[in-house]
Structures are given as C-alpha cells and as structure tokens.
Amino acid sequence: MNEFYNIDAEKTILARILTQGFGTLPDSQPGSGLSLSDRHGIIFDAARALHDRGEDVNSITVSTELNKAGKLDRVGGLSYLTELITVSHFDGLLASACEAVAGKFKQRELRKTVSAALEQIDAGNHEEALANLIRTLPCFTAANDAAREPKIRFFSPSELRDFEPDEEAVLVGDNHILRGEIFVIGGEPGVGKSTSATELAICGATGRDWLGLKVHCRFKTLIIQNENGRFRLRGEYRARSITTEIEDSIRVSEPPAYGMTLEHPDFLRDVRLALDSFQPDVVLFDPWNSAARDDKAKDYGSAFDALKQMLQTGAKRPALGIIAHTRKPTMGEKRIGGSGLMHTLV
C-alpha cells in the first residue's frame, strides 16, 4: 500500500488541519479524501465537512464527527487523532507534503489508466486501448511538470552575475553565515568552540559583532548539543547578563539521554517539534562526531542527510552550523595530503 501512498506526507497535512484548520494550507492541498489513503481520507473528509459548515476543526470536533458517522474506530480512535497533532508541519515541510500526496495520487490514477488499457487489450480492443493511452499519458506528464517545483535549476552566466541575495539571507560577516547554508566551527578540544557557538547565539540575539564579523540582522538560534549538562550550562549562563532579547532568541538542548540518535524516528520527531515551535534562523549541532562517528563517507553522508531532513525548507530554511573537533594524527599518518589531513577535518 505504501508504494502508492506517502503516509508521512499525509500525516503532515492532517497535523496542520487539526491544529490550524484549512486556512493555512497551500493551494496544492488535496482536493478531497480520495487523494489520501483510506483512514487519512476519512479524517480529511470529516474535517472538511466541519470546515464547510463553519465549525471549528480540531482533534476533538473531528473525533466527534467521526463517532457520529460510526467511523472513529476505523481511523484508530481519538488516540490516533491526538498522535497526529504532534507531527511536525512547518510551511516548507507542509508544501512538500502536499506535493508528495499530489504525486502519489497521479501515480494511482496512471496505474488505473494502464490497468484499464491492459484489460482492453485482453478483450481484443487494441486500437481503443492505444488511443486511450496516447490521449491520457501526455496529460499526466504535462500536469505533473506544470504543478511541481523543479528539483534542480540551471542559470546562465549573466543570471549568476546579476544575482542579488535577499537582504535577510546574509546573517553574519561577508557571506560567512548564510540562511540555508552550512558553516563549520572547528578546532582542537578545549579551544572554545562551544563557547564561540554560545557567543554566536548571543550576538545574533543582541546584534553585536561576532568574532570581528558584522551581524547584519538579529536572529534566533537553537543549539542541539551533546557536550554540557545543565550544571555546566548553568555556570555559563549565570556568568552572562540574561535579558529579554536573549531569553526569547536562544534555546539549548541538554545532552540527550541516549545520545544523538539521528537514525531514531522519535529523536527526529522531538527535534522537529522544537524547530517547528521555535522557528530558529540558525541551528548549531555540537559536536559533529556525535553524529558521524567515523571518517567514512557513508557516515558523513548519513549524518548530513539526517540533519538536513530535520530542517524546514524554502526561504526560511535556517543556517546549519557544525561544531567539529579536530583530532591528532594517528601513528604513521602523513600530513601531506589525502587521508593524511583527516585529523584537520574531524
């Protein structure tokens, strides 16, 4: 079933509907419950019926509507509706979810068209089957290309030369920290990487220069860290002047009980909820080796993919800062190039 439905995308859409109603859905929202899988489609139609009657749409009203229709147990009961409202649904993720659901719906419709054509061929109606395919397939392709956002774009030299970034995209320095881009704070243990990361967050909140680099606009920072417990963090923040602008602009995690388990869906969900509610402009991950535990490209790629999946997309995508420990070269490791320079990267 999941081959023809994107269950996670459907949950994202329903989470937005159950918490904020239909008013904030993008234009690419599903047209009806037929666009979703069975129980999600039932929930969608119940919420739509409430909306069309001008009534409040939330998990309680939808559960009542479903109970009246004798369908509440079929969708998993109130407990499932309550679970849905915890799913992350920030704007970039929501737009992607609507696009994914629309794509899956087109796949199912295309499958129906091809199945019908095969039945016509089995019945000996070859010309009719071919005519239906020729008439239908280009429509699917054209509609899909027109509706979806391109996954890759290309520019001419003059377009690149004339590009002017959004004023709010450059956060710090001369393109040192850009919204939506990745930057690295690296160094040997004990040189002050975590302290400089904290200073970055405070400078973003106050607008002060950071390490001699100009802060172009004030921004909010979320620090996901596995280095310091609350006792040590207490000392760090007691030494600073806590003002309203800092209080409202910084969030710091405690070290997770089970480490930076980027492969665990509950860990990712908890981080997404924090990102969704706080809406940071900069996300700092400290330290990198708690996610990528080896120098292998596979470990690096998996960690980067997991981190990027946690962040919202679009114009509001935050800058991602990686706090990276350098390490001493191992015995016999040369420093002239290639793997001999790995100690400068991890």
d(CA 71, CA 46): 10
Pair 284, 222: CB distance under 8 Å: yes
Instruction: List the chain domain ranges.
Output: 1-163, 170-344
Residue 172: the pLDDT is 92
pLDDT of 158 strictly over 70: yes
Name the DSSP class of 27: T
Topology adopted by domain 170-344: Rossmann fold (3.40.50)
**Helices and strands per DSSP (H, E), number in the chain:** 12, 7
Query: Pick the residue with more confidence: 188 or 144?
Result: 188
Identify the weakest region by mean pLDDT among 96-100, 137-141, 194-198, 233-237.
137-141
Q: Under CATH, to which class is 1-163 assigned? A: mainly alpha
pTM metric for this prediction? 0.54
Measure the N-to-C terminal CA separation of the chain; round to a whole number of Å: 42
d(CA 274, CA 1): 31
Cα angle 101, 102, 104 (rounded to 5 degrees) comes to 65
Give the mean model confidence (pLDDT) for residues 153-179.
Answer: 83
Strands 170-172, 177-178: pairing kind: antiparallel
pLDDT digit string (tens) for 281-310?
999 998 877 766 555 555 566 677 677 767
Residue 346: the pLDDT is 44
Half-sphere exposure of 125 (CA within 13 A, CB side): 11
Name the DSSP class of 4: G
pLDDT digit string (tens) for 94-145?
887 888 888 888 888 777 777 777 777 777 777 777 776 666 665 555 555 5
Amino acid sitting at position 255? P
Pair 30, 36: CB distance under 8 Å: yes
Residue 208: the pLDDT is 93
